[in-house]
Amino acid sequence: MNILFVLEYYLPHIGGAEVLFKNLCEGLAGRGHEVAIITSKLRNTRDFEVMNGVTIYRVKVPQKGARYWFTFLSLPKALKLAKRASLIHTTTYNAAFPAWLASKLRGKKSVITVHEVFGSKWQELVGMSWSTAKLHQFLERLIVALPFDKYVSVSGYTGSCLGRFRVDRRRLEVIHNGIDYELFNPNRADGKVVRRELGLSDKFIYMYYGRPGISKGVEYLVQSVPLISRSLPKAKLLMLLAEEPRDRYENIKRMVADLNIEDEIMLLHPVPRNELPNYIAASDCVVVPSLSEGFGFTAAEACVMERPVVASDVASLPEVVSGKYILVEPRNPEAIAQGVKRVYEGEIEESERKLFSWDDCVEGYLRVYEELTKHS
């Protein structure tokens, strides 16, 4: 098949969606399918390149409001490449409309991967005004209402949310994201080296890694730091925090300064993905304070690395966590602090480990594609 992806962001942009589509696109290419991606041009990236068998076309967009500009500026390229595509695959949010329109104008089948839908939760997200939340809620409803031929949700939780949006269940498939078990192998990671290099050999390390997005709850984790330090003087929060969205990153830095907890936190830039397992192995637990998650890569990866996880008891996280974990009330710094303390004291829930295979994920999407194209 010739599969055209329309994605507002792709590598080197950091995020769970990018992890999914890297593994899916390269997995499809490795199985002999032709894969092309239309995505936003980021700083220091090429307009066109072939990466691991995947052909990438990058559309120039203004830096301010890039994802919104992509909705319109990607359409000419989508219409051109859709001519020879077997089908078009996109994702929420800003790439959905040009992908759907190109599919309809070119008479191609369409697939949308839905990572999460917030619905009324838009108004609960940190740092979003009432009017902005209402606008995003309206736009989300419009996107989900577009009549795609197939909707794929990355978790049962997201699938149930789509059901509330009256998505036809015959068009809905749940395909979990996968985890790279070769990369996230606890037997191959060396946390001791990271501890020595960071000067944290004698510390109890609780870790966060990822973006400071509106649904990630990083603010509540930062607010829990003084409470944790009070009961665990040798505790240290290790944060591998992406600088985008920039305004939220700066807000986190201001919050750390205002709380006067610079000595209790080590704030670092994200490390290359192949080094990430060593940092997870260096931690005593990983905290996932999200307000919502469509899947929850951080939680799943930490569980695979056999690190205890303190995660919000919300959305898909109870579906994803396994092994050693503690679920806590979301939006609650006291609950996060208590969860970290429970890990320190060894009071951890345990369950059979859940497996999320990339091979299963790719094969699941292939079944969807084949079902859609067999009568085309």
pLDDT at 164: 84
- pLDDT for 168 beyond 90: no
pLDDT digits (tens, 9 = 90+) for 298-327: 999 999 999 999 999 999 999 999 999 999
Provide the mean pLDDT of the chain. 94
Distances in Å between the alpha carbon of 72 and those of 6, 43, 65?
A: 12, 20, 12
For the structural domain made of 2-178+357-373, what CATH number should be given?
3.40.50.2000
Q: Judge whether residue 126 has pLDDT over 80.
A: no
Rounded CA-CA distance 352/181 in Å is: 16
For domain 191-351, give the CATH number.
3.40.50.2000
Query: What percent of the chain is modeled with pLDDT above 70?
Result: 99
* C-alpha span between 293 and 313 (Å, rounded): 10
| Range list for CATH 3.40.50.2000 in the chain | 2-178+357-373, 191-351
pLDDT, position 376 = 61
Query: How many CA atoms lie within 13 Å of 130's alpha carbon, on the beta-carbon side?
Result: 0
* End-to-end Cα distance, the chain: 12
How much is the pLDDT for 124? 78
User: Predicted confidence band at 94 (pLDDT cuts at 50, 70, 90)?
Assistant: very high
